[in-house]
Amino acid sequence: MGVTDVEEMHTIRLTVAAHNMNNKRLGRLTMQQAEKYNPIPKEQYGSRKRQKAINCLLNKVLIWDISRQLCLAMACLCNDAEKCYDYMIHNVTTLGMQCTGMPHQPITAMLTCLQESSTHILTACGTSKEWYGGKKRLREGKLPLMGAGQGNRAAPTACGLLSAAIIKVMALLGFSAVFTTAMSLQPISVICSMFVDDCDLWQSAKSTTATGEDIVPQMQKAADAWEGCLAATGGALSPKKSFWYLVDYTWTGTQWDCRTKAEMPANLTMKDSKGVTHILRCHIKICRYRANVLPTC
C-alpha cells in the first residue's frame, strides 16, 4: 500500500485468450502427469489440487510442537523468491515440465510465443505505442526475455515443477529436519514447508544434547545451497523479505525455557539478485512450559 516504485511492482501479462486457454490446458495436463507419477515432493503445497496453505501451516505448527516436546534445537529459514514467475529460465522450465512425460511440442510452442511476442504497457491512460521484447530484441542481438509470466495459466505448474527439482537436490545434499515416530520408530525427514515460492527451510539438531550453535553452520550451508539452486533456474532470493528462527532450550530447574539471542549469538547471510550479501533478521520463538506438562500451540 502506497508504494509507487515501478521496480517493486509485478508485471501482469495479459495475453490473447486463446493462447492462455491453451496454456491452461497444458498446465493442467502436466500437473496431472506429475501427480500420477509422483515427481512432486510432499513439501510443495502450492499449485496443486487437494493442497491448501492451511495444511502447510498446520504441519509447521506440528514441527515446532515436536521440537518443544523433545527439547530439540531447531533452525528455520523463512525465505521468499523475487518475482518467481518472471525469473524462470526457459530451457530449465521446459526440462522441468518434460520430466513428467509431457511432449516438448506444446511446451516449446508456449515458450516460443512468449519469447517472440511484443509487449505493450497498459496504463490508466491507455496502451503504450512503444513496445519491448520480441523479435525487436532478437534483431538487436540480445537474448530473449525469460520467465513464464505472471498471468500465464501454465506458470503455476511450471514453477511448482522447478521447485520440486530444487527440493530433490536439497534432499540429496542431506539438508532436512529429522524426527523419529513414537509408535513405529521410523525416521521422518522434512526439508521445507513450501507454498508456491514462499519456503521455510528446516534444519534440526542431530540429538537433544546438541545446541543451537551447532546447527547454525548447517543452516548456512542449506541457505547457500537453496540460493544456488534457485539461481541455476534463473531465480533469486529477497533478503529484505526473509528472516530466520533459531530455537534452543535450557532447563531452569522447574521448567524449560527458550534461550535468548544474547545466550546464542549467531548470524545467517543471504545473497540478493545482484549477488550482494545481507545479514538476515533473526527471531527467537517464545516457548515456555513447566516440566511434565504437555505443551500446547
Reported as a single tens digit per residue, the pLDDT across 24-53 is 999 999 999 999 988 889 999 988 888 889
More confident residue, 169 or 291: 169
Domain count, the chain: 1
In this prediction the pTM is: 0.87
Q: Is residue 188 part of a domain?
A: yes
Q: Is residue 296 part of a domain?
A: no
Q: Is residue 29 part of a domain?
A: yes
Strand partners, 126: 123
Distance CA 125, CA 128 (A): 9
**pLDDT for 109-157, tens place per residue?**
999 999 988 888 888 888 888 888 887 787 888 888 888 988 999 999 9
Assess whether pLDDT exceeds 50 at residue 297: no
* Domain with 122 in it: 11-290
Q: Is residue 3 part of a domain?
A: no
Q: Is there a contact between 90 and 115 (Cβ–Cβ < 8 Å)?
A: yes
Q: Is residue 115 part of a domain?
A: yes
CA distances from 63 to 70, 74, 92, 94 (A): 11, 10, 32, 34
**pLDDT for 8-25, tens place per residue?**
777 788 888 999 999 999
**pLDDT for 61-110, tens place per residue?**
999 999 999 999 999 999 988 888 888 999 999 999 999 999 999 999 99
Q: Is residue 6 part of a domain?
A: no
In the chain, where does DSSP find H-type helix?
Answer: 17-37, 53-70, 90-98, 104-116, 134-139, 155-173, 212-232
